[in-house]
């Protein structure tokens, strides 16, 4: 295999020379850090999930701001009051322009879909249907009717479903879903988007962890020749390999028959760094 050949690499001499250099400089760094109080700069870039494209889009969406979906590339304009219901009750006229703006601002100020749904949940009341008449055409009769209340400063207005959706700038289908929850459960439905337990979460147990550890150990590493201090037992990642490459080799060896790898790169990298089996600060 081509990848095996790269392990052997060019002459070991040249690699060892570079490692020796790096070790010496690393040693110096440690001694200065030990004597002064300057905080140690983390070697690795930190994970900042809140800055990931999808998280940014999700947050903007929940705040009712304009966002572009990273998966579809579609730009969704910022939320505003929806169309007038134009029903007999003239629901829209019961809420003034400035009140509409205040409702939207407060609602989107909640910032998360779960909080918003909980808020809407509290404004919808389900009234069980008293008497069901059998319908010959096979349609299932409705189980409940709902009342929708819009809370404005100092008073509450009962409006129709369409007006309710429009005033909160949400879709009628979202209102319908929450309304259905009011007749079956005691609290609002929780956002399940993107939260389905993945296979990896369930199946990644101790065995897989150990397998990853063994794989990391099996990869040819560079050993330090210096027996002083910490560096004695340290092993370094070969400059011919990257963590991504190691992960690829792992998947090739242990998961060749699964379509999507159980062990993701991030998980593999985490095991590698947390367990300090291999140190990454190789020659640059
Ligand atoms: Zn109406």
Q: Tens of pLDDT along 102-138?
A: 999 999 888 888 899 999 999 999 887 776 666 666 6
Euclidean distance between CA atoms 105 and 97, whole angstroms: 13
Distance 94 CA to ligand 1 centre (A): 10
Euclidean distance between CA atoms 15 and 89, whole angstroms: 82
Distance 144 CA to ligand 1 centre (A): 19
Phi-psi region at 111: left, alpha or beta (left = phi > 0; alpha = psi -120 to 50): left
Distance 161 CA to ligand 1 centre (A): 7
- On the 0-12 / 13-18 / 19+ scale of CB atoms within 10 A, 187 is exposed
E strand or H helix at 236 = strand 235-237
- What are 151's strand-pairing partners? 156
137 or 16: whose pLDDT is higher? 137
Q: Tens of pLDDT along 139-167?
A: 666 677 899 999 888 889 999 999 999 99
pLDDT of res. 144: 79
For all residues of the chain together, what is the average pLDDT? 76
pLDDT of res. 233: 63
Percent of the chain having pLDDT more than 70? Answer: 69
Q: Tens of pLDDT along 59-79?
A: 888 888 888 888 888 888 888
Distance 67 CA to ligand 1 centre (A): 29
Mean pLDDT of 254-260: 77
Both tokens of residue 138? 């096979």
pLDDT of res. 30: 42
CA atoms within 13 A on the CB side of 174: 17
Question: Taking the complete model, does pTM exceed 0.85, yes or no?
Answer: no
Mean pLDDT of 191-219: 71
Mean pLDDT of 76-102: 90
Distance 173 CA to ligand 1 centre (A): 16
Whether the per-residue pLDDT at 231 is higher than 80: the answer is no
- What are 146's strand-pairing partners? 126
Positive or negative torsion for Cα 245, 246, 247, 251: positive
Distance 158 CA to ligand 1 centre (A): 9
Mean pLDDT of 164-177: 94
pLDDT of res. 154: 82
Mean pLDDT of 16-39: 45
Euclidean distance between CA atoms 35 and 200, whole angstroms: 44
Euclidean distance between CA atoms 66 and 280, whole angstroms: 41
Domain regions of the chain by residue span: 79-130+142-184, 197-284
**Closest to 125 measured CA to CA, from 95, 145, 153:** 145
Distance 118 CA to ligand 1 centre (A): 22
Q: Would you place residue 42 in the very low, low, confident or very high pLDDT band (cuts 50, 70, 90)?
A: low
pLDDT of res. 261: 76
Mean pLDDT of 31-53: 68
Mean pLDDT of 242-262: 83
Distance 78 CA to ligand 1 centre (A): 23
E strand or H helix at 195 = none
239 or 198: whose pLDDT is higher? 239
Distance 175 CA to ligand 1 centre (A): 14
Euclidean distance between CA atoms 213 and 192, whole angstroms: 33
Distance 100 CA to ligand 1 centre (A): 15
Distance 109 CA to ligand 1 centre (A): 25
**Closest to 158 measured CA to CA, from 95, 104, 97, 107:** 95
Both tokens of residue 166? 């429009």
Euclidean distance between CA atoms 244 and 141, whole angstroms: 57
């Amino acid at each position: 295999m081509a990848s095996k050949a790269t392990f052997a690499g060019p002459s070991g001499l040249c690699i060892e020379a570079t490692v020796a250099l790096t070790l010496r400089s690393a040693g110096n760094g440690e001694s200065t850090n030990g004597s002064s109080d300057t905080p140690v700069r983390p070697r690795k870039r930190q994970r900042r999930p809140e800055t990931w494209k999808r998280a940014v889009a999700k947050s903007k969406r929940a705040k009712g701001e304009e966002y572009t979906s990273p998966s579809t590339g579609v730009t969704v304009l910022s939320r505003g009051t929806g169309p007038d219901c134009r029903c007999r009750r003239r629901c829209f006229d019961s809420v003034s322009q400035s009140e509409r703006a205040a409702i939207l601002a407060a609602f989107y100020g909640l910032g998360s879909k779960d909080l918003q749904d909980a808020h809407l949940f509290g404004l919808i009341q389900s009234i069980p249907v008293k008497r069901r008449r059998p319908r010959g055409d096979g349609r299932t009769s409705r189980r409940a009717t709902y009342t929708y209340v819009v809370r404005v400063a100092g008073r509450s207005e009962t409006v129709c479903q369409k007006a309710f959706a429009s005033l909160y700038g949400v879709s009628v289908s979202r209102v319908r879903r929450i309304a259905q929850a009011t007749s079956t459960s005691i609290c609002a439905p929780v956002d399940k988007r993107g939260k389905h337990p993945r296979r990896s979460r369930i199946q990644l147990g101790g065995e897989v962890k150990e397998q990853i550890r063994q794989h990391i150990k099996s990869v040819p590493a560079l050993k330090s020749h210096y027996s002083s201090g910490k560096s004695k037992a340290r092993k370094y990642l070969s400059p011919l390999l990257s963590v991504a490459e190691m992960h690829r080799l792992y998947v090739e060896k242990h998961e060749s028959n699964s379509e999507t790898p159980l062990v993701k790169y991030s998980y593999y990298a985490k095991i590698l760094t947390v367990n300090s089996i291999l140190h990454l600060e190789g020659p640059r």
